[in-house]
Amino acid sequence: MSVMSAGADVRPGRWRAGAGRVVAGAALLTAVALLPWLSGNDPALTVLRARSADADPTPGQLAAVREQLGLDQGPFPHLAHWLGGLPRGDAGTSWVSGEPVLPQVTTAFAVSLTLMLGALVVTVVVAALVCARTLHLGSRRRLSRGGAGAGAAVLAALPKFLLASLLATVCGVWLGWFPSSGWEGPRSMVLPALALGVPSGAMIGGLLDQSLPAAFREPWARTWHAYGFGPGHVARHALRRTLAGVLPQLLPTVVALVGGAVAVEKIFNIPGLGRLALDAAVAQDLPPLQTATLVLVLLGVVAGLLIQALRRALLGPALRDGALPALHPPALTRSRSLPWVVGCCAATLIALVVTGLLRDPLQVDTAARLLPPSAAHPLGTDALGRDLLARLGHGALRTAGVALVVTTVSVVTGLLLGMATHVGAGLTEVVSTLPAVLAGLLTTAVTGPSVWGAACAVCVVGWSPYAAQAAALLEQERASGHMLASISFGAGPSYLLRHHLLPAVLPAVARNALLRLPTTVLVLASLGFLGLGEQPPTPEWGRLLSENQPYVELAPWTVLGPACALVLLSVLAVSGSALGRGGARTRNRPS
């Protein structure tokens, strides 16, 4: 019966998913077309300044630009004309340069796709290193103690634009190993791929490391070990079992690097698609911006379909037949050092914040510019002579508060859309490849540059990892044997939701949210780095990183403080959740 019902649901589900993709793509393209009019700025003035940098154009020049571009007709005729040219291979001409758009976008997409593949290789390698210990011990039935995930949290919390600056300075300028700027060949890809792939690999590896113990606990793993199957064979199948649940995270984590690596592309001077879209959005040059957005939407849809097909191939017929065993994390003994790690991180953060709150974060002393750490200034001073410890302490509550609000809204939205499996799948694929920068431009066009405008922008795109994870876990839980048994005994939707679906999804999504908490701070920082988020002189950790990034070579202490604070916050969140899980399992363990 389950097979027949599953087969009956396939076609309507595909139609709903397709409708979700079309609606989401159309809404996004329409929002992009409205960008010049939403911003409240005269698009003719913006385009004219982008062309010639003329500070005071005459009314006649503005009228000529409006007539040339047909701006008086409004956004929708422009959108219809652009869509009408696509079937003929005509994406229009740039309003700024007057050159055809399609060759520009094609070249930029090829660069970004190459960079994404390089970052994907780094991601896979780092993820394998993060979960290597669990794979090694679990395949040999020697996994008795759970890891805190602190190493993955440290790597995942590394700011990508800060890591890019460090790599460009050390490996590019000082050591001369690789090019620090430009795009000339494979060697130019190494440093930006490392900057993008290391944090992403830590994120994927951390999620895998949390899921693998449950796979090694399944009956087949015990049986195979008893029959003498090799550890490598057991490890491969355990990885296959857990990879299906983590695989959807590749869509928002890695594929989004095509359009979301704007800050890294700017640092390394890479002519990628994200940078092209940002420059076009700033200049309100609609044809290249609309074409780049369409390419990102199509990329997200294709990648989502490929990942979905790969997931179903990994899970096999058990997913279709409702015979998939549920993954239940075992009660592993927690590390003895875990409470010390949590305590040290918490004590250090509290000490930094309290000490910083006793100082003035806005006092400017031009005679004390870029001073190294000392007794008077424990974390040094910035380019204006302001005390970095004071700015770190005063920005702590604002940084953590905004990140927690954004994470909570994103998790709730992701859970709701993840439960709407078919419609939510198409929407998730489209939004996963939407750069936060583009979302920031759309929201700040209405709200203006501010921390809450940046927070809204992150909420617009930040729910997609949780929706993808929730949808994948719900699909596996609905195909489990105990779920079908409950249905056969007459369990209703409310009972299934409370006793099966939510318990299977909420813990994993919560761990993902804690692991991504510093990433949320960094995305807000990236928007601030590009002038779309928190504005000076307000102290905020992301703002501290972005405004001091140009001085990382001359005065590395200017970014060391906020970067270490982010790492401490990440380790505290992940280790604290592991400590809570360990305590709960100890209390619930039968005597």
Each residue's pLDDT tens digit, 377-396: 899 998 888 999 999 898 88
Q: Is residue 3 part of a domain?
A: no
391 and 482 fall within a common domain: yes
Q: Is residue 324 part of a domain?
A: no
206 and 115 fall within a common domain: yes
225 and 186 fall within a common domain: yes
Q: 48, 63, 90: which is the final residue of a domain?
A: 90
pLDDT at 590: 40
For residue 412, pLDDT beyond 50:
yes
Question: What is the per-residue pLDDT across 100-151, written as a single tens digit (0 to 9) for each?
Answer: 999 999 999 998 888 888 889 999 999 999 999 889 888 888 887 665 566 7
137 and 219 fall within a common domain: yes
Chain mean position to CA 430: 14
Contact (CB, 8 A) for 331 and 589 = yes
C-alpha 341/C-alpha 337 separation (Å) is 6
C-alpha 210/C-alpha 577 separation (Å) is 12
399-422 mean pLDDT: 85
Question: What is the per-residue pLDDT across 322-338, written as a single tens digit (0 to 9) for each?
Answer: 666 666 666 666 667 77
77 and 109 fall within a common domain: no
Give which of 296, 268, 265 is closest to 279, Cα–Cα.
265
158 and 304 fall within a common domain: yes
78 and 114 fall within a common domain: no
467-487 mean pLDDT: 77
C-alpha 541/C-alpha 539 separation (Å) is 7
The torsion angles phi and psi of 387, rounded to 5 degrees, stand at -75, 120
86 and 159 fall within a common domain: no
pTM over 0.95: no
Q: Is residue 239 part of a domain?
A: yes
Q: Is residue 195 part of a domain?
A: yes
204 and 269 fall within a common domain: yes
Q: Is residue 33 part of a domain?
A: yes
26 and 163 fall within a common domain: no
Give which of 297, 355, 425, 383 is closest to 27, Cα–Cα.
297
Q: For a pLDDT cut of 90, what percent of the chain falls above it?
A: 7
C-alpha 367/C-alpha 83 separation (Å) is 58
Q: Which domain holds residue 377?
A: 337-581
Q: 265, 283, 315: which is the final residue of a domain?
A: 315
Beta bridge partners of 480: 324
Q: 62, 90, 118: which is the final residue of a domain?
A: 90
Count how many domains the chain has.
3
Q: Is residue 280 part of a domain?
A: yes
C-alpha 311/C-alpha 228 separation (Å) is 28
For residue 479, pLDDT beyond 50:
yes
Element of type H or E holding 145: strand 145-146
Element of type H or E holding 226: helix 219-226
pLDDT at 591: 36
- Report the chain's C-alpha Rg in angstroms: 25
206-235 mean pLDDT: 86
In a 13 Å sphere around the CA of 305, the CA atoms on its Cβ side amount to: 9
116 and 67 fall within a common domain: no
Residue type, 1: M
Q: Is residue 490 part of a domain?
A: yes
C-alpha 205/C-alpha 511 separation (Å) is 13
C-alpha 456/C-alpha 447 separation (Å) is 9
Greater model confidence, 124 or 537 = 124
Give which of 107, 103, 437, 95 is closest to 271, Cα–Cα.
107
Question: What is the per-residue pLDDT across 165-203, written as a single tens digit (0 to 9) for each?
Answer: 888 888 888 888 888 888 887 888 899 999 888 988 888
Q: Is residue 214 part of a domain?
A: yes
Greater model confidence, 517 or 232 = 232
127 and 152 fall within a common domain: yes
Work out the burial of residue 103: count CB atoms within 10 Å of its CB; fewer than 13 is exposed, 13-18 middle, 19 or more buried. Answer: exposed
